[in-house]
Structure 1
Amino acid sequence: MNDRALSPFDHVHRAWVIAVTSGKGGVGKTFVSANLAAALAKRGHRVLVLDADLGLANLDVVLNLYPKITLHDVFSGTASLEEAVLQAPGGFSVVLAGSGLVEYSRLTPEVREKFHSVVATLVPRYDYVLLDTGAGISDVVLYAVSLADDVLVVATPEPTSLTDAYATMKVLATQQRRRLLHLVINQVRRSGDGKLVSQQLQQVIDRFVVPQAGEPVRLVHVGDVPSDAAVQDAVRRRHLLLEALPGSAAAQGIRGIAARIEESVSTPA
């Protein structure tokens, strides 16, 4: 992992592409994507978040943005990619997708080609590109993840979330031969719970995921986001947490995750 030679993008300088994904919806994946982008931007990086949930996009809701031009306009040829790039609160850029458009919920050859073209055009311009994917293991989600250097799986401590997170990891390990997966546990109620959950998932992976060429699948726990009333308040008001309540426990958790991701990229495994 952390090998640019494995990437489908060939540039001397290009962004490190991170797919932020989850096994199921409702675990705070888009919240993590947006606030992680803000945290990385505050660390001096050029960051863009691409809404890769082509059928049920909601990054615009989290950021309280009302785009006139979306990724769907770029795909249809009615607008350029440059016109679709917006500045978000928090000092990063976004390309937003519309919601409820069935024609982009399946990975047709046309969608594959256009999605790849968009990401390839963006990566020379930024230090980090975050792909806020849909939930689950649909072909569109898996294709978006396949374009990333690293994968960040977001889960909560709930049993259904962990079961679906494991299923997603197993697919990524077997179909895409991912040997390193990053994990964030959201809505953690007690200190240490996230680490414990990560260890339990690693044990299941070690037991049931058959490694390719003898290489084990390593799960890296990069941090937790504590259960915090500030999160619900920010989401309800459609404010970025790191902007509205930067001193909250959840915001501090996000900043810690950003620091660990930055460190893992600068010192690859």
Structure 2
Amino acid sequence: MSDALSPQPMTPNAAPVQAGPVAGARIIAITSGKGGVGKTFVSANLAAALTRRGQRVLVLDADLGLANLDVVLNLHPKITLHDVFTGKARLEDAIIKAPGGFSVLLAGSGMVEYSRLTPEVRTQFLSVIQALTPQYDVVLLDTGAGISDVVLFSVSLASEVLIVATPEPTSLTDAYAAIKVLTMQQQRQHVRMVINQAARPGDGRAITSQLQQVLDRFVSTQSGRPVRLIHMGDIPADPSVRDAVMRRQLLLVNTPGCPAALAISQLANKIETALLTPTA
């Protein structure tokens, strides 16, 4: 991994790509440096695991241009976030229950006008998040992949960031690039990581440690200290995952006892303990 990628400067007329975390429910942005690493799979199954633990959970499909949360959950919504943005439907009518018992707000796929962060999209998205957060214990933002302005704005609304990566070199290189941009543009002091499709126990912790070394060398926060990566767990490579995805079912519903499902349950436990349990 090199330090070749630096944040893209915004043009003078560009809409800001960050707004700061929204108060209310704990908002966790689940993102990735590249697509195809299982980010939406993790978002959906993590939501189911947190719901089983008694949390009130909403997953918002924040990939406004290429939404696919509906495919993963086998849902066919009549109303989407696009309808809310255009004034054709009320926000409360666009929220539906997913098979795992959590709430979802789905975005329409292929909406080119929402693939760029115009001032209108920024205002509409922010107002939706502000309206929703008081109603839930945790809101998971299933963002798009990469470092587009829409992705960065979505992540900026979250108090915590969970990066999903796989052990593949391209995934790790892109994860590093995303972490670097989040550190420099949003002054993130820490980023949480989960390694999907891990081949062996302990792989994810070793990978996170390697990424930390690169960040220590090349990237500093505004305080002058390197951003801290927090390893939240590994999800092992498991044939049950592909079976659940092909069936368009939640893994925690399809095969709840498989190794990947157990790993997601452990991830939910860590998130609840670290982020959702009130401190005295």
Task: Place the TM-score, normalised by the shorter chain, in its bin.
Answer: over 0.9
Q: Could you give the per-residue CA deviations for residues 87-137 of structure 1, whole angstroms, max 9, x where no partner exists?
A: 001110000011111000000000000000000000000000000000000
Which letter does structure 1 place at the counterpart of 2:218? F
Are residues 1:259 and 2:269 paired? yes
Q: TM-score, normalised by structure 2?
A: 0.91
Does the residue aligned with 2:42 lie in a helix, a strand or coil?
helix
2-structure distance, mates of 1:148, 1:94: 17
2-structure distance, mates of 1:8, 1:185: 25
Greater Cα shift, 209-218 or 30-39: 209-218
Find the counterpart in structure 1 of residue 210 from structure 2: 200
Q: Select the residue among 81, 92, 95 that pairs with 2:102.
A: 92
Is contact 2:59–2:104 with CA below 8 Å preserved after alignment?
yes
Find the counterpart in structure 1 of residue 126 from structure 2: 116
2-structure distance, mates of 1:267, 1:207: 35
Does the residue aligned with 1:202 lie in a helix, a strand or coil?
helix
Is contact 2:29–2:141 with CA below 8 Å preserved after alignment?
yes
Q: Could you give the per-residue CA deviations for residues 187-227 of structure 1, whole angstroms, max 9, x where no partner exists?
A: 00111111100000010111110221233311000001100
Are residues 1:78 and 2:88 paired? yes
Find the counterpart in structure 2 of residue 175 from structure 1: 185
Q: Give ranges in structure 2 of 5+ residues lacking alignment.
A: 1-18
Which letter does structure 1 place at the counterpart of 2:79? I
2-structure distance, mates of 1:253, 1:8: 28
Find the counterpart in structure 2 of residue 67 from structure 1: 77
Are residues 1:43 and 2:56 paired? no
Find the counterpart in structure 2 of residue 3 from structure 1: none
Q: TM-score, normalised by structure 1?
A: 0.95
1-structure distance, mates of 2:221, 2:213: 14
Are residues 1:9 and 2:19 paired? no
2-structure distance, mates of 1:202, 1:27: 20
Which letter does structure 1 place at the counterpart of 2:153? Y
Identity %: 67
Alpha-carbon shift at residue 263 of structure 1 (Å): 1.2
Which letter does structure 1 place at the counterpart of 2:124? K
Find the counterpart in structure 1 of residue 13 from structure 2: none
Does the residue aligned with 2:133 lie in a helix, a strand or coil?
helix
